[in-house]
Amino acid sequence: MAVAEVPEFNDISMEYSEHVEEFYSDDFSVQKKSNKKRVEWNHHEECWSTYLPGIKREIRKPEKHMLSFRKAVMLVVVLEKLKGKRGCEMQSFFDDDDLLNHILVEEDITCNKIETQDARKSQFQYNKTTVHVIRDYKQKSLVLQEFQGNARLVALSLQGQNIELEARINVDTYLTAKPDINKRPVTLGIAGRQLYLCCTTEEGRTEPVLSLKEKKNDDLLPFMFYKQLANNKYNTFESAAFPGYYISTSQQEREPVQLKPEEDQLFLRDFILNPHF
C-alpha cells in the first residue's frame, strides 16, 4: 500500500489559495512534483478489521465541496508540522482562539439572586375549645350586636328572659414552646359564628382597637390573648399583639367592649368565666 507524503513546512504557504486544493482535494489525492516525477496516491480501498471480522471500513468521497472543512484541516496539519520544527514553538502564528473565535462567543451571564424563605411555623399550637359565658366583675353580660354588616360586642345587664341574649364564647386554648402557667394563650370567638375578637390598628388612631373578624390561621397573633387568673376569681385578657392592652368594658351600660391600657382605671378588665354546657 502506498504511503501519503506530507509537504515540507517550507513548501506550505501560510495563506489559503486555490493551490491548497492540490494538497487536499475532494478525491483525497496528494500530489507532489519533484524532478519530473509525479507521485499520485488515491486512497479508496476496503479492508477488514483485524479485531472485528465482518465489519467493513472504507473512506468515501464527499458528495459536496467542504471548503471550510478543508481550511480547518490545513490549519491542523500545519500545527502538527510546526511541532516538529525547532524554534517554531516560540513563534506565535495563531492559537486556539484563532480557530474558535468565530464559533465560541463570550457573553456576559446575568445571575439573578433568588431568596427563598420558608413560612414561619406558628408559635401557637391549638389544644382544645371550651364554651363559656363571660361577664365583667359587675355582672354585665356580653351581647352581640350587628348592624349593616358590622358586628360588635357590648356589655349590659340582662334580667329574666333577656339572659338568652348573652353571647356564648368559644375559648380556644393553645400551647406554646415555652408555656407559662400564669398566661394561657386563647382566642375568643362567637359560638356558631366565624367571628373572633381581634386587635388591630386604624389610621388616625394612636391606640389599637378591638373588633370582630374572621380568624386567619396563618396569622393568629392579632386574635391571641393571654388569659391570666387573678385572686383565683377574676380573669384578664391581655393582647398578645399589643402587650399592656387588655379587653375592657365601660362603667356605663350598652357600651362596646374595647381594648384599653392597664393604667386606665376608668374601664373594667376583670371578667368571670362560667362554663356553658
Q: Which residue has the higher pLDDT, 105 or 135?
A: 135
CATH tag, 125-275: 2.80.10.50
- The answer to whether 235 touches 272, Cβ cutoff 8 Å, is yes
Confidence grade of residue 207 (pLDDT, cut at 50, 70, 90): very high
Q: What ranges do the domains of the chain cover?
A: 9-100, 125-275
54: left (phi over 0), alpha (psi -120 to 50) or beta: left
How much is the pTM?
0.57
Cβ–Cβ under 8 Å, residues 82 and 9: yes
The per-residue pLDDT for range 211-229, each reduced to its tens digit, is 999 998 889 999 999 999 9
48 pLDDT higher than 90: no
For 235-253, write each residue's pLDDT tens digit.
Answer: 999 999 999 999 999 999 9
Q: 118 versus 139: which is more confidently predicted?
A: 139
CA distances from 274 to 62, 169, 250 (A): 99, 10, 20
Enumerate the β-bridge partners of residue 150: 147
* Res 276: pLDDT: 86
pLDDT-derived band at 210 (thresholds 50, 70, 90) equals very high
Each residue's pLDDT tens digit, 150-186? 999 999 999 999 999 999 999 999 999 989 988 999 9
Q: Residue 269 pLDDT more than 90?
A: yes
Report the DSSP pairing between strands 169-175 and 184-190: antiparallel
Q: What is the pLDDT of residue 238?
A: 98
Q: Summarize the confidence of residues 108-133 as an average pLDDT.
A: 67
pLDDT at site 28 = 42
